[in-house]
């Protein structure tokens, strides 16, 4: 089963008005509003946010993708520990993943040392965390479905005969 078309439109561009959404989906404005309110109340829609280009915004924060291997807990698997990790202020996102590690954790800090302190003092020292591998974000090309194209047009070289 695929995602509801109204949710899909909101995910792609949450700034549509109720009227625009109703017109796009051949629904009434009241129906669109009621469905959105219901999803906000039941947690289907967890929140709204702008996608910010860090370079254009002058954001100097450091982001890191941290692979985390865990020991699953009896009766709960990875959930309890994953939610403990996700509650840290530094954690932006936390995903259960397949492959060579169990969690992919996205962390932000003001500099490399802050992220390193988080990994060494908080994350790696938790019971159940077997190992971590940290990868720092160097540049963002696409964020949540939005291409961040802010590059200047390349200079053209003069062609000599």
pLDDT at residue 154, as a whole number: 57
Q: Determine, yes or no, domain membership for 24.
A: yes
Are 69 and 95 in a shared domain? Answer: yes
Q: Determine, yes or no, domain membership for 156.
A: no
Are 107 and 37 in a shared domain? Answer: no
**3-state DSSP call for residue 69?**
strand
Please tell me the total count of domains within the chain: 2
Could you state, in chain order, the average pLDDT of each consecutive group of 10 residues for the chain (161 residues)? Answer: 88 92 95 96 93 86 97 90 97 96 97 96 96 95 85 61 63
Q: Show the tokens assigned to 3.
A: 């995602």
Q: Determine, yes or no, domain membership for 36.
A: yes
User: How many C-alpha atoms does 115 have within 13 Å on its Cβ side?
Assistant: 22
Distances from the Cα of 121 to the Cα of 69, 97, 124, angstroms = 16, 23, 7
Cα–Cα distance, 142 to 114 (Å, whole number): 25
Question: What residues make up the domain containing 19?
Answer: 5-42
* pTM, full prediction: 0.81
pLDDT at residue 158, as a whole number: 66
pLDDT at residue 150, as a whole number: 63
Q: Determine, yes or no, domain membership for 154.
A: no
């Amino acid at each position: 089963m695929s995602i509801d078309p109204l949710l899909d439109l909101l995910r792609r561009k949450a700034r549509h008005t109720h009227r625009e959404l109703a017109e796009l989906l051949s629904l009434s404005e009241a129906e669109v509003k009621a469905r959105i309110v219901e999803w906000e109340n039941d947690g289907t829609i967890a929140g709204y946010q702008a996608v910010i280009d860090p370079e254009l915004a002058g954001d100097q924060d450091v982001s890191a993708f941290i692979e985390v291997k865990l020991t699953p807990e009896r009766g709960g698997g990875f959930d309890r520990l994953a939610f403990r990790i996700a509650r840290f202020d530094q954690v932006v996102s936390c995903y259960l993943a397949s492959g060579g590690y169990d969690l992919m954790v996205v962390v932000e800090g003001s500099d490399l040392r802050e992220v390193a302190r988080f990994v060494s003092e908080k994350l790696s020292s938790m019971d159940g965390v077997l190992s971590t591998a940290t990868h720092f974000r160097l540049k963002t090309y696409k964020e949540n479905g939005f291409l961040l194209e802010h590059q200047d047009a390349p200079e053209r070289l003069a062609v000599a005969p």
